């Protein structure tokens, strides 16, 4: 490749988010659940979460987050030619939430589909969108993580119901041909996706259309998930650094899936990254599954912490187990 030839990258040009209703604190939960603010905070770092009302659907939240991302980018719905929604809590079994979002925003005919990889969903969706953009199948996409996780909770199971929340985050991802393919050029530098279906029974929902015919409830062996999360996150961040031939100290911001501050701190320690360089929203949002990374990204972009040109490392693990990471020059 000659020095002057340009390289196709997909860059993030807008971010947005949406959280439903007023936050519900741990102390609020104490009133109806045999739990304590102290237990939840100490084990997870969660202090509050948002719980969507009965009549608020995943697509309602996705649409709001997408609107904000579009506004931030300066584009109109008519400028979009692809939509991917990462979700494990669709409005209906089908159609995809992405199709509903397309109709409600007035996005012209284009590919629109959902990706289901639970808490890793946004990283998976980003990877797929990056491929579609770089191969010219879409020029400018909405990539959304949206979840109504509280719709999957058994409110009698205190080991899981205190951990999750609802919300949505969105980005506009578009083709850029300005760079020469260096690590300094903006865009998604690499994505790394993994799954180990042998571990499907440590985190799952005990229902579904082709089995019980019911939606079901989330079931988790917390300690086992914790153990694999620490191990797999350390592995995927190392793979990302090696693949890009960079050092951990080159990273400006770690944007982890927001499930548990102890898992996040273990990953930061592995990278020798001070917690000041980790975007943390778990205290305010709880675990919002596929929405958690774009929600955190949006918070840190809109409050001015993340700036154009910063190097971002995104990483997540969820049911499947699935896990993954993305390195992005913002």
Catalytic positions are: 119, 257, 287
> Whose Cβ is closer to ligand ACO: residue 124's or residue 330's?
124
Q: Is 320 strand, coil or helix?
A: coil
* DSSP H/E element including 115: strand 112-115
Smallest CA-to-CA distance from 115 within 327, 324, 328 is with: 324
> Whose Cβ is closer to ligand ACO: residue 110's or residue 265's?
265
The footprint of ligand ACO on residues 87-106 (CB under 6 A) is: none
> Whose Cβ is closer to ligand ACO: residue 97's or residue 141's?
97
CA distance 56 to 91: 10
Shortest Å distance, C-beta 38 to ligand ACO: 9
Alpha helices (runs of H) in the chain, residue ranges in sequence order = 26-30, 37-44, 58-73, 97-105, 121-134, 158-161, 222-244, 261-271, 282-285, 292-302
Cis peptide before 321 (omega within 30 of 0): yes
**What residues does 25 pair with on adjacent strands?**
48
The footprint of ligand ACO on residues 262-321 (CB under 6 A) is: 263, 287, 289, 318-319
Shortest Å distance, C-beta 166 to ligand ACO: 13
In the complex, residue closest to ligand ACO by CB = 222
Residues 190-229 as x/- pattern, contact with ligand ACO by CB under 6 A = -------------x------------------xx-xx--x
> Whose Cβ is closer to ligand ACO: residue 187's or residue 286's?
286
Backbone angle region of 144, left / alpha / beta, with phi > 0 → left and psi within -120 to 50 → alpha? beta
What crossing angle do the helices spanning 292-302 and 121-134 adopt, rounded to 10°? 70
159 binds ligand ACO (CB under 6 A): yes
Shortest Å distance, C-beta 77 to ligand ACO: 30
Chosen residue from 62, 162, 306, 326 binding ligand ACO by CB under 6 A? 162
Distance of CA 169 to the CA centre of its chain: 8
CA distance 51 to 225: 24
CA distance 208 to 144: 23
Instruction: Tell me, by CB under 6 A, how many residues bind ligand ACO.
Output: 23
* Mode of pairing for the β-strands spanning 311-318 and 253-256: parallel
Q: Are 65 and 20 in contact (CB under 8 A)?
A: no
CA distance 149 to 205: 11
Chosen residue from 8, 24, 37, 43 binding ligand ACO by CB under 6 A? 43
Shortest Å distance, C-beta 117 to ligand ACO: 9
> Whose Cβ is closer to ligand ACO: residue 171's or residue 259's?
259
Shortest Å distance, C-beta 260 to ligand ACO: 4
Chosen residue from 8, 30, 35, 219 binding ligand ACO by CB under 6 A? 35
Shortest Å distance, C-beta 116 to ligand ACO: 11
User: Footprint of ligand ACO on this chain (CB under 6 A)?
Assistant: 35-36, 39, 43-44, 118-119, 158-159, 162, 203, 222-223, 225-226, 229, 259-260, 263, 287, 289, 318-319
């Amino acid at each position: 490749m000659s020095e002057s030839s340009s390289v196709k990258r997909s860059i993030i040009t807008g971010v947005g988010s949406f959280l439903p209703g007023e936050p519900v604190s741990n102390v609020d939960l104490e009133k109806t659940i045999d739990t304590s603010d102290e237990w939840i905070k100490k084990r997870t770092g969660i202090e509050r979460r948002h719980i969507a009302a009965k009549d608020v659907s995943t697509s309602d939240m996705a649409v709001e987050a997408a609107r904000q991302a579009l506004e931030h980018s300066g584009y109109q719905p008519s400028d979009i030619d692809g939509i991917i929604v990462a979700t494990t809590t669709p409005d209906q079994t089908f159609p995809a939430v992405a199709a509903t979002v397309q109709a409600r925003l007035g996005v012209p005919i284009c590919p629109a589909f959902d990706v289901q990889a639970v808490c890793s969903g946004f990283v998976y969706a980003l990877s797929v969108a990056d491929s579609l953009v770089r191969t010219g199948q879409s020029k400018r996409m909405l990539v959304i993580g949206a979840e109504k996780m509280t719709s999957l909770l058994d409110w009698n199971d205190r080991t899981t119901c205190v951990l999750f929340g609802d919300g949505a985050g969105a980005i506009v991802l578009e083709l850029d041909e300005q760079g020469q393919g260096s690590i300094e050029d903006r865009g998604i530098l690499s994505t790394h996706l993994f799954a180990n279906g042998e571990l499907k029974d440590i985190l799952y929902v005990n229902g579904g259309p082709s089995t019980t015919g019911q939606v079901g409830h989330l079931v988790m062996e917390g300690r086992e998930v914790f153990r694999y999360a620490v191990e797999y996150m350390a592995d995927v961040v190392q793979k990302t650094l090696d693949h890009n031939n960079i050092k951990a100290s080159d990273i400006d911001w770690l944007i982890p899936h927001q499930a548990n501050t102890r898992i996040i701190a273990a990953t930061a320690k592995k990278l020798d990254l001070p917690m000041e360089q980790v975007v943390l929203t778990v205290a305010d949002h709880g675990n919002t599954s596929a929405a958690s990374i774009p929600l955190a990204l949006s918070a840190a972009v809109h409050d001015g912490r993340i700036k154009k040109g910063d190097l971002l490392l995104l990483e997540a693990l969820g049911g499947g187990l699935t896990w993954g990471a993305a390195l992005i020059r913002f």
